[in-house]
């Protein structure tokens, strides 16, 4: 099968949840199929994308001159869309050189199926091109912006979040309807999409984890330590840490005064770094080459998210290392986990703090939950199994062709057995 994979924002380094998911699925697909990667992203130093030519049959990259995130230039860039019906988040990577380069590639290379990776690549896809197209939706993007709006306190940010919510909702519905098939990462997301799509057009491809890379490290945990991992330039992660530090951690310290929190992930904001300077029991590492030593150090892994969509790879990574995880319902949303069996689910400040105190002081319960967690991910959620499910859907769509999709049988769920 000849697959063209189109991705906005780049693929490497795989240092965010979406990149990790895409990279691992693509790497498995490339073992058995011809994969062409077309990616467009902000120009940056030490670009690793040229090295991917040794992994895929063809790699075409378009590096773009873009303003730095959260800069004044980005604000003025945003103003171009302020009075339009377009979502800035959906459109910001789709600049002038991108679509012509993609059309040129399609004119010279025959493909069986095009994969649009994330909604953010959709504005660049030539939807009139005669080839089946699959949209891989890692999140319900409009729902993420709705949750930003719901928790925002700053009036300006609340207004911007409302605008992105509404424009993203419009874009999401339009592009998912254009696609011949849609891949969701959870049954929760699939149910939301089914409000405006035929359920036969949606397949669930669950999140995976590299269970060989993420192995248990018994005896390395530091007593009374909490660990959070994630890209800190993703707003839901930053919001979750401030929520935890301000509303939950003080409750824990009343009973476990020696507790420490480690926040591990790239690009923490100055505001987050200031939090660490003010509260010495909180350590902000910034980017690290390998998160496993930090996961191993943690007595308990926490996922205190109030905003989000899709599924959180950070939970599966911790589970693969036999770590007990405490998550909000939103943090674990869409994952095949059971409360008090292979994870603890806690909603609200009081419940979350109680769960942390309980697990910090109960090694037997931690070990029980951690062992069950690793058994689950090893049995069903290794990347090869996830890629096989992905392949099955692409093959169905490619065989059917875009004009016959309505009559083709495509599995509605590709949950690994």
Q: Tell me the range of 247-256, 326-335, 403-412 where mean pLDDT is highest.
A: 247-256
Q: Which superfamily is assigned to 225-380 in CATH?
A: Glycogen Phosphorylase B; (3.40.50.2000)
**Look-up of token digits 């992930």:** 265
How far is the C-alpha of 62 from the C-alpha of 38, rounded, in Å? 8
How far is the C-alpha of 356 from the C-alpha of 24, rounded, in Å? 32
Domain ranges of the chain: 2-208+383-407, 225-380
Mean pLDDT across the stretch 49-74? 93
Choose the weakest-confidence range: 90-104, 240-254, 394-408.
394-408
Reading phi first (left if > 0) and then psi (alpha if -120 to 50, else beta), residue 299 is in alpha
Average pLDDT of the chain to the nearest whole number: 93
pLDDT value of position 70: 82
How far is the C-alpha of 271 from the C-alpha of 251, rounded, in Å? 22
Residue pair 195/178 in contact (Cβ under 8 Å)? The answer is no
Same fold, 2-208+383-407 and 225-380: yes
Structure tokens of 149? 């709006």
* Helix, strand, or coil (residue 130): coil
Mean pLDDT across the stretch 65-87? 90
How far is the C-alpha of 53 from the C-alpha of 37, rounded, in Å? 9
Segment 1-58, tens digit of pLDDT: 999 999 999 999 998 889 999 999 999 999 999 999 999 999 999 999 999 999 999 9
408: DSSP letter: S
Residue pair 54/326 in contact (Cβ under 8 Å)? The answer is no
pLDDT value of position 408: 45
CATH 3.40.50.2000 fits 2-208+383-407, yes or no: yes
**Residues forming a β-bridge with 326:** 302, 344
Strand order in the sheet with 202-204: 58-64, 34-42, 2-8, 113-117, 133-137, 181-184, 202-204
How far is the C-alpha of 206 from the C-alpha of 208, rounded, in Å? 7
How far is the C-alpha of 43 from the C-alpha of 41, rounded, in Å? 6
Work out the pLDDT band at 406, boundaries 50, 70, 90.
Answer: very low
Segment 79-104, tens digit of pLDDT: 888 889 999 999 999 999 999 999 99
Q: How many CB atoms lie within 10 A of CB 252?
A: 21
Question: Which residues have CB under 8 Å from 299's CB, separation 6+?
Answer: 221, 222, 223, 224, 225, 226, 359, 360, 366
pLDDT value of position 409: 52
Structure tokens of 221? 């945990």
């Amino acid at each position: 099968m000849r697959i063209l994979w189109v991705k906005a924002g780049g693929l490497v380094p795989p240092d965010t949840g979406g990149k990790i998911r895409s990279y691992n699925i693509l790497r498995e697909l490339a073992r058995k199929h011809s994969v062409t990667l077309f990616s467009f992203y902000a120009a940056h130093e030490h670009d690793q994308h040229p090295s991917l030519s040794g992994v895929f049959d063809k790699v075409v990259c378009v590096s773009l001159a873009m303003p730095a995130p959260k800069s004044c230039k980005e604000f003025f860039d945003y103003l171009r869309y302020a009075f339009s019906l377009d979502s800035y988040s959906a459109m910001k990577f789709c600049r002038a050189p991108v679509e012509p380069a993609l059309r040129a590639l399609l004119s010279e290379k025959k493909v069986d199926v095009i994969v649009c990776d994330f909604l953010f690549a959709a504005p660049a896809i030539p939807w009139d091109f005669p080839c089946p197209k699959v949209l891989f939706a890692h999140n319900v993007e409009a729902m993420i912006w709705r949750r930003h709006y719901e928790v925002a306190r700053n009036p300006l940010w609340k207004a911007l979040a409302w605008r992105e919510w509404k424009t993203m909702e419009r874009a999401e519905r339009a592009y998912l309807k254009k696609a011949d098939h849609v891949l969701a990462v959870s049954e929760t997301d699939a149910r939301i999409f089914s409000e405006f799509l035929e359920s036969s057009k949606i397949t669930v491809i669950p999140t995976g984890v590299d269970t060989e890379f993420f192995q248990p490290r018994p005896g390395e945990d530091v007593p009374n330590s909490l660990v959070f991992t994630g890209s800190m330039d993703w707003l839901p992660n930053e919001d979750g840490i401030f929520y935890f530090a301000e509303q939950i951690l003080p409750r824990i310290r009343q009973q476990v005064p020696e507790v420490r929190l480690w926040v591990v992930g790239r690009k923490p904001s100055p505001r987050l770094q200031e939090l660490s300077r003010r509260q010495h029991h909180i350590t902000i590492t910034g980017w690290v080459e390998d998160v496993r030593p930090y996961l191993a150090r943690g007595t308990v892994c926490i996922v205190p998210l109030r905003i989000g969509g899709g599924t959180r790879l950070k939970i599966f990574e911790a589970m693969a290392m036999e770590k007990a995880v405490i998550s909000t319902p939103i943090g674990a949303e869409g994952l095949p986990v059971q409360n008090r069996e292979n994870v603890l689910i806690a909603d609200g400040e009081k419940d979350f703090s109680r769960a942390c105190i309980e697990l910090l002081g109960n090694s037997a319960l931690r070990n029980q939950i951690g062992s069950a967690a690793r058994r689950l991910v090893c049995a069903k959620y290794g990347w090869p199994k996830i890629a096989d499910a992905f392949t099955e859907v692409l093959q169905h769509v490619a065989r059917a062709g875009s004009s016959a999709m309505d009559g083709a049988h495509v599995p509605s769920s590709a949950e690994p057995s």
